[in-house]
Amino acid sequence: MIVINLKSYKHGKSVLQLAKTIQKNTPNAIVCASTIDIHSIIKNTKLSVYAQHTDPIQKRGTGFVDAAAIKQSGACGTLLNHSEHPLDFDILKETINQCKKLGLKTIVCAESLSEVKRISKLLPTAIAFEEPKLIGTKESIVNSRPRLIKRFVKLLEGKKIMSLCGAGIHNVQDVMQAYRLGCKGVLIASAIANSNKPEPLLKSLHPFSVEPKIIVFVDRDGTLIYDNKYHLGHARDWRKKIKYLPGVVEGLSLLNRTPGVQVYMVTNQPGVAIKEFSCLTEKRAHEVCQTMLLQLQEKGAFIKDYALCPHPTSEYVKSHTRFKFKHDMISNTCMKPKPKLLIELLKREKLTDPKLKLYMVGDRFSDIKAALNVCGKGILVPFQNKKKEIEAVPRNFKHTVHITKNFLDAARIILKHEHGN
């Protein structure tokens, strides 16, 4: 969800022109407009328009705009409790209740975790976590307060409330980081509303404003990075050994620019169960994945999240006799090609639409089988052109399995198959 607060920088013709620019470049965005501009924007665009503020007064209060008036203006929701227009908690509660009765959605701003807890009890549509001192600056909350954002997201787990963050969000990297931290969207203002050239940022935001239609699962070792059989993370210098394969950044960026596509990393890490790898704990394995996602983000390539299996199967243990394994970690339930990792990730991300198109890109046939096990399609990118992985693909799978030379080509195949691009 991309929410753009137009604030009071512009009014009349100038704010309408900005709204048209938003519609052209990010048509699925929500715009929060001042009361006097709501009707004009609704009349001349197809944008979802929210009010910037709503009062709880139902009677004839001078200077107040209540929920009924906002509803009559054509708006579909309202922003509430912005740090520039805060509300007493009881007034906020009354306003949210009135909005619910009228079918208006509510995005409520909060500037502390304690405030988030109180507001969450009111069950608004969304809570936007902001730090007031960062508003209007280029110091984004997602980079300066990542741990705080994670705690905020955790507070809303299990609740039917969307988690947004704002304050200092000024480029697509900030938006990527917000999603990476678990937010379902962002609240942006000055970077667009006070910009002389908002088009480049708006264009880059478009993919994030669209509901996911295509999910691309990606293997890690041998697909995203070189796989030299060193079980990344077992040595202290593991960061130096992360080397991305050709076409990875370009392919991810291509997918990121396509509306409705979300990318997730899914990886088997049985090295966690090897006794002599004392440094390669499950915590370290997660640290490696998180580091990779941040590195890719810095390169302009975004992977929304990941799932990791640290459990070797009994078959894997038998075929790797040179290692001694921790027997309590041996399991036959989640290691690819089992579909458990993919299914649990979809559930965690609330991606339950049966119409979703699923793809898996990997360097082994086990990755491809994982895709087929969730009724998806597989794209084999064999690491160093391994003949045995290519030969493992049955010939009658040509409609559900593709073989290509690198990740960029895999991304192109997905887009060509879905969009004819």
**Catalytic status, residue 94:** no
Q: How far apart are CA 311 and CA 288, in angstroms?
A: 17
Handedness of CA 346, 25, 250, 231 (dihedral sign): negative
- For 309, phi then psi, to 5°, come to -115, 115
- Per this entry, what is the length of the chain? 421
Q: How far apart are CA 276 and CA 90, in angstroms?
A: 59
Q: Got the DSSP string for 191-232?
A: HHHT-S--HHHHHHHGGGGS---EEEEE-SBTTTB---SS-T
**Catalytic status, residue 82:** yes
Which of these is catalytic: 53, 82, 170, 402? 82
Nearest CA-CA partner of 336 in 283, 374, 305: 374
Which of these is catalytic: 53, 94, 111, 130? 130
**Cis check: omega of the bond before 310, within 30 degrees of 0:** no
CB atoms within 10 A of CB 146: 16
Q: Got the DSSP string for 95-138?
A: HHHHHHHHT-EEEEEESSHHHHHHHHTT--SEEEE--GGGTTSS
171 neighbors 188 (Cβ within 8 angstroms) = no
Burial (CB < 10 A; 0-12, 13-18, 19+), residue 319, is exposed
Q: 267 CB contacts (<8 Å, ≥6 apart)?
A: 219, 220, 221, 289, 306, 307, 308, 309
- Catalytic residue numbers read 82, 130
